[in-house]
A and B are shown apart, each in its own frame.
Chain A
Amino acid sequence: MHRGDDYFFYGFEAVSMIRTLQGILILLILLCFCTGCTGTAPVSEPLPGTKASNEFSNWNLTVNGSVKTMYSLDQLRSLPATTGNGFAVSTVGIKYGPYICKGVLLTDILNAAGGIAPGNQVWISAPDGYLWVFDYDQVQGWSFITFNESLKEIPSPPLRILLMYEQDGKPLSYDDGGPARIAIISDEKGVVTEGSAWVKWVNKIEIKKK
């Protein structure tokens, strides 16, 4: 039977019903894709500490330089933003990324706190008790070890340290270190850096004079 015959014999209401039925069936098929196919995929329990991105209202960033400054998330987001490619690797070779990272350059944050001079260090910490230290050279983007996507060491292209608040176009989630974490970024894609410096949940930046 041709489609025209349907219309001829059963009229507009019948064809409309068939189309509705088709729509429902297509939805069912889509459901099969979305749920049925995940049947055996291992499912990890959500992290107990998981927070929605809108639950960062109490977050503050303290920056201790020659000037002490404090930022709310909105204030951080209102600063000039930079975007770059970030890709990290853990000490056992687990790769995280690649990401499109958006945030505020560490140098901009430090300049607003009085700036950093050669010989100074920057201590970056988080409420989970993690601390990482950058020296002056690293703050300028120098002296990092870099790898390609196969984790083969490559000469370092120009790098910058970013306080990232957006990852791949979305607010940084708690599980990914949100509301703000350190990222080492490059204009080039596929540049992997050592992940120990990618401090999650950053809430304190200190300039230390040696």
Chain B
Amino acid sequence: MSVQGFLRILAPFIIIILFFSTAGCSTAGQPQKTVLKVVPAGSLLQPFDEVETVFEAEHPDIDVQIEGHGSIQAIRQVTDLHRPVDVVAVADASLIPDLMYRTDPSTGTNFTETYTPFARNAMVIAFTNKSRYADEITPQNWYRVISRPDVRIGISNPMLDAAGYRSIMVALLADKYYKNSTMFPVLFGSHFTPPLEIQNERGISTVVLPEVLRPSDEKLVIRDGSIFVLSQLEAGGIDYSFEYRSVAEGHNLRWVSLPPAIDLSSPDFSGDYANVRVVLGFQRFSAIGQNRTGQPIVYAITVPNSAPHPELAREFSTMVISMAQTGGKGWPVHL
């Protein structure tokens, strides 16, 4: 065979190879991006999307992958599921020492040694223009308005979401703050069979939740995650929901601020917050018990000792803390 004939046979294949190597496969041969795995609490997803954008712009060779979970489940990705996670950020700072200051059997060191509290949040009552009595509700009358029989309210599942048990704490605190208030029984307790009771002992109000949280009527709606409660709110299925202020703001909702003695935002009221307690229906995770005691909502971030990319992880964490200082829509308030 002549060289020309041979080339003529090869030509179509060479063209195809060139096509794929320059068009469809234009990225072939470039180094793979380094994946930085970041696991935040669900209420941090919106602000962390912003951090991801800025971080990747500064580091074109890094692919930040954000995977949201409830705060305990976020930590469990490291401690129980042994996944390679670079950054963990939670909506309850106390969870990090409780769950991560213990020995990782695979390394012989603690899961982490340090963490940085970086923001705080407050519980608010979120609503929309479609909500019943939207034109009436104020920071002064909110507890009376949402207690009306024809108002439907929503919370996320306290078994799964800190915002869920914090919603119940708000009702318990409101009953202490507003004398003669019956917010907890009206909003929560009376909508279960049998009704949920408040146990008062030495000034501490405790509510023990049943194993399966299914309201017996339509006054109260409980969904696994905050996003599903928000969907109900936006669709008009409920009128009001208990949310973090940053989440309400991030979803362009209206909200009513609550007194600091109730909204779990202020360290000045730590003593008052500690007087309410929610006991979850069962121990969903063997690593943490069922008791949740009221305390200020503080966000914290840590780099696990097993982080595959600790330097980058620290850099990302620093950026989170820095951007939290600047704040913006959907960000919890910096410390």
Most buried by B among A49, A137, A196: A196
B42 — which chain A residues lie within 8 A by C-beta?
A: 91-92
B227 — which chain A residues lie within 8 A by C-beta?
A: 91-93
How many Å lie between the Cα of A29 and that of B15 in the bound state? 11
Minimum CB–CB distance from B166 to chain A (whole Å) comes to 15
Report yes or no: A42 in contact with B35, Cβ–Cβ below 8 A: yes
Report yes or no: A42 in contact with B33, Cβ–Cβ below 8 A: yes
Q: Identify which of residues 66-108 in chain A touch chain B, using a CB-to-CB cut-off of 8 Å.
A: 90-94
Minimum CB–CB distance from B29 to chain A (whole Å) comes to 6
Q: Which residue of chain A lies nearest to B281 when distances are taken between CB atoms in the complex?
A: A133
Q: Identify which of residues 13-70 in chain A touch chain B, using a CB-to-CB cut-off of 8 Å.
A: 14, 18, 21-22, 25-26, 28-29, 32-33, 35-37, 39-45, 47-49
How many Å lie between the Cα of A94 and that of B70 in the bound state? 12
How many Å lie between the Cα of A133 and that of B73 in the bound state? 17
Which of A39, A133, A195 contacts B29, CB < 8 Å? A39
Minimum CB–CB distance from B38 to chain A (whole Å) comes to 12
Interface size on A, residues (CB 8 A): 52
B283 — which chain A residues lie within 8 A by C-beta?
A: 131
Most buried by A among B30, B212, B308: B212
A196 — which chain B residues lie within 8 A by C-beta?
A: 157, 159-160, 224
Asked if B141 is an interface residue, CB under 8 A from chain A, the answer is: no
Report yes or no: A48 in contact with B10, Cβ–Cβ below 8 A: no
Asked if B197 is an interface residue, CB under 8 A from chain A, the answer is: no
B212 — which chain A residues lie within 8 A by C-beta?
A: 121, 133-135, 138
Asked if B57 is an interface residue, CB under 8 A from chain A, the answer is: no
B5 — which chain A residues lie within 8 A by C-beta?
A: 1, 6
Report yes or no: B1 in contact with A14, Cβ–Cβ below 8 A: yes
Minimum CB–CB distance from A149 to chain B (whole Å) comes to 14
Which of B20, B70, B285 contacts A32, CB < 8 Å? B20
Report yes or no: A131 in contact with B29, Cβ–Cβ below 8 A: no
Report yes or no: B223 in contact with A45, Cβ–Cβ below 8 A: no
SS class, residues of chain B in contact with chain A: loop
Interface size on B, residues (CB 8 A): 62
Asked if B158 is an interface residue, CB under 8 A from chain A, the answer is: no
Asked if B45 is an interface residue, CB under 8 A from chain A, the answer is: yes
How many Å lie between the Cα of A134 and that of B282 in the bound state? 11
Asked if B177 is an interface residue, CB under 8 A from chain A, the answer is: no
Q: Knowing A1-B5, A39-B27 touch, does A92 contact B69 (C-beta < 8 A)? A: yes
Q: Which residue of chain B lies nearest to A17 when distances are taken between CB atoms in the complex?
A: B1
A28 — which chain B residues lie within 8 A by C-beta?
A: 13, 17
Q: Mark B4-41, 1 if CB is under 8 A from A, else 0.
A: 01001110010011001100110111101101010000
B70 — which chain A residues lie within 8 A by C-beta?
A: 91
Instruction: Give the segment of A110-118, A122-130, A161-169 that binds chain B.
Output: A122-130
Report yes or no: A32 in contact with B84, Cβ–Cβ below 8 A: no
Q: Identify which of residues 134-161 in chain A touch chain B, using a CB-to-CB cut-off of 8 Å.
A: 134-135, 137-138, 143, 145, 147, 151-153
B287 — which chain A residues lie within 8 A by C-beta?
A: 129
Report yes or no: B17 in contact with A40, Cβ–Cβ below 8 A: no
B224 — which chain A residues lie within 8 A by C-beta?
A: 91, 145, 194-196
Selected A-B contacts with CB under 8 Å, 20 pairs: A18-B1, A18-B9, A32-B28, A33-B25, A36-B21, A37-B24, A42-B63, A43-B32, A45-B308, A47-B83, A91-B42, A91-B70, A91-B225, A92-B45, A128-B76, A128-B80, A130-B286, A133-B212, A135-B212, A153-B231
